[in-house]
């Protein structure tokens, strides 16, 4: 079987090799095989290749942190999936850029049928959106949530997941050109980042007591989110796309009980019991993706041996490139 392997950190042209690997032998009772259908090139993959991610695998190592495939073989005790099911590949294990993977994960279930390129992306950005929406505050129908980087893959996922739960979203973008698009995909309020953002949010929501803000940008925007949430409100920092660290005024935080939390799914997955919780989470998220309510832009589609072109295109951040480890079908 074929796999892309990272041999060093640096330029993808020089550090990634397409290699032949031996086929898996007889399966243990709890093991099962996924024939990979589609695997995105995500920012996480690019950070790993460059050697700048929070955790780096020992080299040489496989690549690919998300994707989907069909179950092709199961061990004698495996009952949660069956041959022929389309399933999410194990997350963040750097193995999906290969024709076939073996796993013992027990949280997977059969996915609904849907667009292959979209279903391939269920396992990173939509689940991140779901977790930052649900892990830090218990919101109810009618509550507002603020989401920055609204046109990112996570931001685009926040909107329909929140809507499916009856929540309303204030979506922050950095260009007025994005406002109409964000409204078309369901954003209740879409605002452009600026110095009067807190005032705009208050006016647009009728002065609502907003308890949760999701920040993918950082910098000066984080302070504005702290100011925009209400007493004991929470800001969740899930990325730093602005490239600048936040500077937080501590006195307002001290006297209002507001909090700033970081979220990195790698650490969340390490908490005992959390992987088992993925089953219920994906049962809520996957139908939204399959039905087209969650849509993440796709920049292009590539065979496995076209990985250099795929990574180059993905680096432009105009959508994810999708690799087909077993060829297009």
Q: How do residues 67-115 score in pLDDT, each as one tens digit? A: 999 999 999 999 999 999 999 999 988 899 999 999 999 999 999 999 9
> Tell me: the pLDDT tens digits for 266-318?
999 999 999 999 999 999 999 999 999 999 999 999 999 999 999 999 887 67
Reduced to 3 states (helix: H, G, I; strand: E, B; else coil), residue 311 is: helix
pTM over the 0.85 mark = yes
CA–CA separation, 29 and 321 (whole Å): 35
Tens-place pLDDT, residues 14-33: 999 999 999 999 999 999 99
Of 157, 160, 177, 176, nearest to 168 by C-alpha is: 160
Other C-beta atoms closer than 10 Å to the C-beta of 267 total: 12
pLDDT, residue 84, reads 97
Q: Which residue, among 47, 32, 182, 9, has the nearest Cα to 124 in the 3D structure? A: 47
Q: In the chain, which ranges are E strands?
A: 2-6, 16-20, 32-41, 61-62, 68-74, 86-88, 100-103, 144-147, 168-173, 189-192, 212-215, 234-237, 259-262, 298-303, 320-324
Res. 329: pLDDT tops 80: no
Residue 31 burial (C-beta neighbours within 10 Å; 0-12, 13-18, 19+): middle
Residue 247 has pLDDT above 90, yes or no: no
Confidence class for position 204, pLDDT limits 50, 70, 90: very high
Per-residue pLDDT at 71: 98
How do residues 39-77 score in pLDDT, each as one tens digit?
Answer: 999 999 999 999 999 889 899 999 999 999 999 999 999
pLDDT band at 242 (very low <50, low <70, confident <90, very high): confident
Q: How far is Cα 201 from Cα 197, in angstroms, rounded to an integer?
A: 6
The full set of domains in the chain, from first to last, is 2-122+298-324 (3.90.180.10), 126-266 (3.40.50.720)
- DSSP state, residue 323: E
Helices and strands counted in the chain (H then E) = 12, 15
């Amino acid at each position: 079987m074929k796999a892309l392997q990272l041999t060093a950190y640096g330029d993808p042209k020089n550090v990634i090799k397409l290699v032949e690997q031996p086929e898996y032998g007889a399966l243990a009772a709890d093991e099962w095989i996924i024939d990979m259908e589609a695997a995105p090139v995500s920012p996480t993959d690019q950070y790993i290749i460059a050697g700048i991610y929070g955790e780096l695998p020992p080299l040489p190592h496989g690549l690919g942190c998300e994707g989907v495939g069909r179950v092709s073989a199961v061990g004698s005790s495996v009952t949660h999936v069956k041959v022929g099911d389309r399933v999410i590949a194990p997350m963040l294990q750097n193995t999906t850029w290969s024709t076939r993977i073996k796993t013992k994960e027990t949280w997977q279930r059969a996915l609904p049928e849907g667009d292959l390129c979209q279903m391939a992306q269920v396992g990173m950005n939509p689940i991140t959106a779901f977790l930052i929406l649900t892990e830090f505050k218990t919101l109810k129908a009618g509550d507002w949530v603020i989401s920055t980087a609204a046109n990112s893959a996570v931001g685009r996922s926040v909107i329909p997941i929140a809507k499916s739960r009856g929540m309303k979203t204030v979506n922050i973008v950095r260009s007025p050109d994005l406002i109409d698009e964000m409204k078309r995909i369901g954003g209740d309020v879409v605002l452009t980042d600026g110095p009067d953002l807190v005032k705009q949010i208050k006016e647009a929501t009728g002065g609502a007591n907003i308890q949760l803000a999701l920040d993918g940008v950082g910098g000066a925007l984080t302070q504005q989110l702290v100011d925009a949430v209400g007493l004991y409100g929470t800001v969740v920092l899930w990325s730093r796309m602005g490239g600048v660290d936040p500077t937080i005024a501590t006195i307002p935080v001290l006297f209002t009980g507001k909090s700033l939390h970081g979220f990195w799914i790698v650490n969340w997955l390490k908490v005992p019991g959390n992987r088992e919780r993925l089953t219920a989470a994906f049962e809520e998220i996957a139908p939204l993706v399959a039905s087209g309510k969650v849509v993440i832009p796709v920049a292009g589609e590539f065979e496995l041996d076209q990985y250099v072109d795929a990574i180059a295109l993905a680096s432009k951040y105009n959508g994810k490139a999708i690799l087909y480890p077993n060829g297009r079908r």
